[in-house]
Structure 1
Amino acid sequence: MLDTILNVDGEEGQSIPLIVDSPHSGVIYPSDFNHQAEFSKLRQAEDSYVDELYNYVSEIGGVILNANFPRSYIDPNRAETDFPSEELIDFDVKKEKFLFNPTIKSELGIGLIWLRIPPNGEPMYANKIKFSEFIHRVKNYHRPYHKTLKEIMSSTYQRFGKFYHINAHSMQNKATAMSDQEKGTRRPDFVIGDRDGTSCKREFTDLIVDFLRSLNYSVDINDPYKGMELTDAYSDPKTNKNSVQIEVNRRLYMNEITRIKSDNFDLLKTNIGSLLNDIKLQIEKGIL
């Protein structure tokens, strides 16, 4: 089961404390995903090809983890409590020992389980979800992903005394109706999120920002994306556990509607590879 929901590459040859995870690039849609969306619209939730953009990390001694399932089915980058219980058809708060704590993401329909269809926010389901379906997704998809990432981080930390974790994503070129930004707001080439400096050393953020800007990319920090669950949950820069989120604009490498790679894909992949090489160099020099 684990092999079908996620992939890990680079563990056997790991030589540096660099970890990448791509939680939203999965394209294997479970048969029990009873949505009512047009598939072309549903695919707009995918961070298409992000796993490919970063897979070079395993060639230089790092480790990469990818989800195979789609984020719209269940999102590893949300807390398992980030869902409105009133959207479950049969949830009994007195009977079930499960606490919910929905965030703004759930209000937008993009919490732990997506309830809205991108990009305009139509209902994802004809009926509410059963609690048994909810728990199935949590236990068989969300928790195994987190468990695997924690194990990679733990083994890396035990071996090197530190880790540098990149939570890799892609973003739409313009904000949609399902965003907390004003619809139509244009995004930069990259957004780097370190949860306002709390999820990693400033040197790690600065290295990434400075390197990307040296390639003439436009880069914003923590706006509009600061990093969510996977950046926050396991980071502690005071003990050398560093996590940063990188969002890359999809217009740099693909057609957002057809999901077809553009002619610029290889250039972006090369530039991200150069960034990973620079991070490796700074780790080996002891700067990170």
Structure 2
Amino acid sequence: MKRFERPAPAQFDPPVETIEPVRLTSPLVFSSPHSGSLYPDAFLAASRLDALTLRRSEDAFVDALFLPCVDLGAPLIRAVFPRAFLDVNREPYELDPKVFDGPLPDFANTRSLRVAVGLGTIPRVVGDAQPIYKQPLSLTEGLARIDALYRAYHARLEALIERARGRFGRAVLIDCHSMPSNAADVGGLDIVLGDRFGASAAPVVIETLEMSLRGSGYRVRRNKPFAGGYITEHFGAPSGGVHAVQIEIARALYMDERLIVRNERWTTLRDDLFMAAKALAAEVGGAAGSTRLAAE
């Protein structure tokens, strides 16, 4: 089923897709905010980079990796628009002055660490700090993207979380991402799980995922170098019955990072992620899961 919250630019109609289970039976919600791969012609024309280079900022195929988890009775939401065009895992107005052709409004956050490296809500760079645009954008264009696309994604995700909390008394958000395998701070890891150092989820959530993934042979670390982005921080509120964990998967596990095509290990990883999600669904579902989440 496809849903969107408000009118969007014609090239993104709809800007957000929701894949619903046949029956909603789990408090899990899966989010893939960076797997969008629709690049408008006007955006490509305005970029100094070719399409393949732009795509290296994507969490390519991550939505498809987690798609089988819908069979656990949980929805999956994914962005249609690409991360290089708009990043919903940022504050809504985390804006980089170097992207725009004029002054920014007072409410913009222009001093975050993410803005400093060119990775604000509307990114300035991709990959190894490669500038995206030939010319600065107008502020009108940037705000239009936020109004139509950012707000649509967050409104839909919030609705799915609130539905789960209303139905089951809690919601467990799994925010799904990938990471470059050759990044210096990744250090040979396969998967990084982030729960804001315990602030965004009860321990049982990250413990269950870690145990299952380690049991499948993956090298897993918690909260370093990724403790969870804005989505995890914004939605994770264990005391309010919402638990959020970010999962970062090394891209070499499932794809050729240069060509952006799936490799022979794709199916194994997809199946192992499903088993980890299944273990979590069993742990946090039903009365027993509710008790343990509340206790922690």
* TM-score of the alignment, normalized to the shorter chain, above 0.5: yes
**Contact 2:29–2:171 (CA<8 Å) still a contact in 1?**
yes
| Gap change, CA 1:123 and 1:86, over 3 Å in 2 | closer
**Contact 2:21–2:71 (CA<8 Å) still a contact in 1?**
no
> Is 1:175 matched with 2:187?
no
> Is 1:71 matched with 2:83?
yes
Please name the residue that 1:228 is paired with. Answer: 229
Please name the residue that 1:125 is paired with. Answer: 133
5 Å-filtered alignment, 1:95-244, equals 98-118=107-127, 120-175=128-183, 181=185, 186-244=187-245
TM-score, normalised relative to structure 2: 0.89
Q: Which runs of 4+ in 1 moved over 6 A?
A: none
- Structure 2 portions without partners, runs of 5+: 1-6
Please name the residue that 1:281 is paired with. Answer: 282
Task: Give % identity.
Answer: 26
- Structure 1 portions without partners, runs of 5+: none
Query: Aligned-pair distance for 1:213?
Result: 0.8
CA RMSD of aligned residues (A): 1.7
Q: Encode CA deviations 1:178-213: one digit per residue, 9 max, x unaligned.
A: xxx4xxx53400000001110000111111111111
Counterpart Cα distance in 1 of 2:14 and 2:124? 24
Query: Aligned-pair distance for 1:12?
Result: 5.8
**Contact 1:10–1:59 (CA<8 Å) still a contact in 2?**
no
Counterpart Cα distance in 2 of 1:13 and 1:102? 44
Counterpart Cα distance in 2 of 1:91 and 1:200? 38
Q: Encode CA deviations 1:113-146: one digit per residue, 9 max, x unaligned.
A: 111132x222211221110011011011111100
Paired residue type of 2:275: S
Paired residue type of 1:4: P
| Gap change, CA 1:224 and 1:198, over 3 Å in 2 | same
> Is 1:41 matched with 2:53?
yes
Paired residue type of 2:33: P
Please name the residue that 2:99 is paired with. Answer: 87
Q: What is the number of residues matched between the two proteins?
A: 277
Counterpart Cα distance in 1 of 2:54 and 2:182? 17
**Contact 2:29–2:74 (CA<8 Å) still a contact in 1?**
yes
Counterpart Cα distance in 2 of 1:187 and 1:6? 33
Counterpart Cα distance in 2 of 1:220 and 1:233? 22
| Gap change, CA 1:271 and 1:11, over 3 Å in 2 | closer
TM-score, normalised relative to structure 1: 0.91
Query: Aligned-pair distance for 1:13?
Result: 2.1
Please name the residue that 2:266 is paired with. Answer: 265
Query: Aligned-pair distance for 1:104?
Result: 1.3
Correspondent of 2:40 among 30, 34, 42 = 30
